[in-house]
Structure 1
Amino acid sequence: MPRGGKREGAGRPVGTGKYGEKTKAVRLPISIADEILISLQQSPEKLEIVVNSIFKPDAQTKYRIPLYLSPIAAGFPAVTEDYVEGKIDLNRHLVKHPESTFLVRVTGESMRNAGIHPNDLLVVDRAIEPISGKVVIAVVDGELTVKRLRKHRDRLWLMPENPDYPPIEIGENMELHIWGVVTNVIHAL
């Protein structure tokens, strides 16, 4: 059985999608991705969009933050030491593959129980394989979302981490492209 390429009768019929015309998946330069996201968000019929902005990490930044030797107790207070173990560069801890890593800012509540909240920054790595169980940035029929990828019995799902949102089953007539795997969440308290 041949694989890849265009198959007769596959995909959504032309003109039946939300744009009313033929669509295709494309790679976007980071410099114009924000503008495209803004234009996509203007459509009210969208699949819940949770990606708000896309950023490329600045690997040239070399700002080291002090790292204290003593861990901080989350329960009872512990005796503190005024000893700094050294300084760390967060790029080294958050960005494993600089050329394939980007940041996205999210909106929406569908991943709340995974610790992803509105206005959080997600560190996304395109070099990591998007396997079942990973949180991914996905493009479903041209619309960006962040969900947990699940594969079960040859069926593919994008799972929310909030019971108020339904899972998205990826059907044969749907276009799916995984942009990358979420490796870290940065949010303010």
Structure 2
Amino acid sequence: MPQDRAAVRAFFAERAAGWDAKFAADPPRYAAAIARLGPLDGAFALDIGCGTGRALPLLRAAVGPGGTVLGMDLTPEMVALAATRPGALVTVADCTRLPLPEATADLLLAAGLLGHLPEPATALREFARVTRPGGRLALYLPLSRTALAARHGRDPATDPQAEPVLRPLLAATGWRPVSHHDTDDHYLAVAERT
């Protein structure tokens, strides 16, 4: 899996058109993960690395009419597809330089993002910068983290989302780990902004 920005953008650009069809079984998994995040009514939620926007309608429903959802992705082709979702608010952005002021977001969802980053700590620091104290970060995968790491040639034990690696990484970048679910069919780690 590519990790530099240009390679990541090119990788996802050529796959954007078929992305939703390839992962058609994912929406119920996303819905279950978002439900596990607890009440989000009125929240300002960010979907960082939103891809084609599969989670945007689910987040929109979770935050209700008083909330706001903003999707961001590095790949313009993905953002163009995400923009077709009803009520979608999306922009092209680099997750290490988010176009937001400090302490504005209540929730950041990053699904399948951390494994694409050469320096996850840089992104986690930036996520912390734009999140209000007490706000939450949800790192999510709709499949096994271990299987995904192995598929991409990474050692599952040293993968940035492996709990022994992630806990100190979160602590060093402004987050307090809250929960960590790493199962054979999904991955969800939640942290709170300190």
Higher helix share: 2
TM-score w.r.t. length of structure 1: 0.25
TM-score of the two chains, using structure 2 as the length reference: 0.25
Question: When you count strand as a share of all residues, which structure comes out higher?
Answer: 1
The structure number with the bigger radius of gyration is 1
